[in-house]
Structure 1
Amino acid sequence: MAGAEPITARSPQHVVELLDRAFNECDVDRVLGFYDEKAVVVSQPGRTISGRGPLREFFEFAVKSGASAKQLKTHVIEADGVALFLSRWTLEYEESGAKRSVRELVATTVFRRQQDGEWKVLIDNSFGPLVLDA
């Protein structure tokens, strides 16, 4: 597949498409490439992480667990180089005993357009309104 994908994602929707593909293929380096240098990720309601090292550890753990993501419905609101990406998505993962489970979530993600025109994730809240109950 090398060379088949564009080097830069020119819209938030395209970033999510490529990001989900990289995540589902367990390619942590590619996943991290879609995140802004100052990105903040909600790792669970009530907890955020930032910085390349912690983000790498988080995504390495997630892909090793066999998790996969799929977007069900998305909507983007964009203004002046910033975009709010809303999505209903599913997370499929392995529970104890090798049982596969699927969880449907609502995400709120903020993207920032870079100087070269590429869009990157700035704030990744895959848990959406669940953070209100943390």
Structure 2
Amino acid sequence: MFKKVILAVCLAASLINIADAKGLSGIADKTSALNRYSSHYRILSPRSPQEAAKAFEKYFNAGDLEGMLSLHDKNIAFIPSPGTQLNQPDQIRQALKQFLSLKLPIDMKVRHIYQADNIALIIFDWSIQGVDPAGKQVNLKGTGADIVRKQMDGSWLYLFDNPFGTTSSNTQ
């Protein structure tokens, strides 16, 4: 724990130096950058399947695309809609940008987590509701079935991100 605190302080100091180099001179600019970093650091490495789900929700609600992508295993399969599987990083980035473009929070409720060794299945209910930037009413919801895999460093990353679970492709 002590080593993590020292590492966080050193990295925060480095971030402030980078902020200086980029011309972020005001204390508000530096504080904002440090707060963004601190929030990212706390959930950088989910240590359980439950933490992975919480991290995804937190990054989504912060509009943090890079944070969301950091939760992906290198072999991720993203299923943005029933019957559609994406494996290429650029495709996944674009699909996630579409969800984030709604500028609405996601509410996720984990129903079950089933774990076998270093693989876990997360069953969860989710919803995105509100009015998007274009003024359209949004009411998206589903029951997801995601799979996360424990990494060598003990963190858990998404191997399958499947927000619509077993929904049939002809019902969407």
Q: Could you say which TM-score interval applies, normalised by the shorter chain?
A: 0.7 to 0.9
Which of the pair has more CA radius of gyration? 2
Moved over 3 A (4+): 93-97, 131-134
Task: Identify the structure with the greater strand proportion.
Answer: 1
* Aligned-residue offset at 1:34: 0.3
SS in structure 1 of the partner of residue 121 of structure 2 = strand
Among all aligned residue pairs of Structure 1 and Structure 2, give the percentage whose two residues are the same amino acid: 22
Residue number among 43, 51, 76 corresponding to 1:14 in the alignment: 51
* Matched residue, 1:105: 142
TM-score (norm 1): 0.88
Unaligned runs of 5+ in 1: none
**Counterparts of 2:151 and 2:168, CA distance in 1:** 27
* Aligned-residue offset at 1:86: 0.3
* Matched residue, 1:3: 38
Counterparts of residues 119-130 of structure 1 (less than 5 Å): 119-130=156-167
User: Is residue 61 of structure 1 aligned with residue 98 of structure 2?
Assistant: yes
User: Is residue 76 of structure 1 aligned with residue 128 of structure 2?
Assistant: no
**Counterparts of 2:55 and 2:121, CA distance in 1:** 17
SS in structure 2 of the partner of residue 3 of structure 1 = helix
* Aligned-residue offset at 1:30: 0.5
* Matched residue, 1:31: 68
Unaligned runs of 5+ in 2: 1-34
Task: Identify the structure with the greater helix proportion.
Answer: 2
Residue number among 46, 55, 66 corresponding to 2:83 in the alignment: 46
